[in-house]
């Protein structure tokens, strides 16, 4: 019998948009983290120029604008791609 392994099948990451993060405006409130539906924002481990941790974007953004809407400090600009990018192969080397 052939057992199917999933070690070569990382979580599918289709990116439909991207965000520009003005990290030095961020106050580290973390409201954007749970607000992101695909959970592609994580907090940095180093502080910005004000000493606050700030969000970092991982593959899989949908361009939904939820982060922009929740952020009190106008940190995000949102862009949507005309053609989605399948980043599954790109994640093999960069994730886990």
Cβ distance to ligand SF4 smaller for residue 73 or 85: 73
Nearest approach, Cβ of residue 8 and ligand SF4 (Å): 26
Nearest approach, Cβ of residue 50 and ligand SF4 (Å): 10
Whether residue 25 contacts residue 73, with contact meaning beta carbons closer than 8 Å, is answered with: yes
Cβ distance to ligand SF4 smaller for residue 6 or 82: 82
Cβ distance to ligand SF4 smaller for residue 2 or 15: 15
List own/partner pairs for 37-46 with CB under 8 A and 24 or more apart.
37/62, 37/64, 37/66, 38/62, 41/67
Which residues, 6 or more positions from 61, have their beta carbon under 8 angstroms from its beta carbon? 15, 16, 17, 18, 19, 38, 40
Cβ distance to ligand SF4 smaller for residue 13 or 26: 26
Residues that bind ligand SF4 (CB under 6 A): 17, 19, 26-32, 35-38, 40-41, 54-55, 57, 61-67, 70-71, 73, 75, 78
């Amino acid at each position: 019998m052939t057992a199917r392994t999933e070690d070569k099948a990382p979580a599918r990451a289709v990116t439909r948009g991207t965000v520009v993060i003005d990290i030095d405006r961020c106050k580290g409130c973390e409201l954007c983290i749970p607000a992101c539906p695909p959970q592609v924002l994580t907090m940095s481990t180093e502080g910005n120029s004000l000493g606050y941790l700030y969000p970092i974007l991982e593959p899989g953004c949908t361009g939904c604008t939820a982060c922009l809407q929740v952020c009190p400090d106008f940190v995000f600009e949102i862009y949507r791609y005309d053609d989605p990018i399948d980043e599954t192969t790109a994640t093999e080397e960069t994730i886990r």
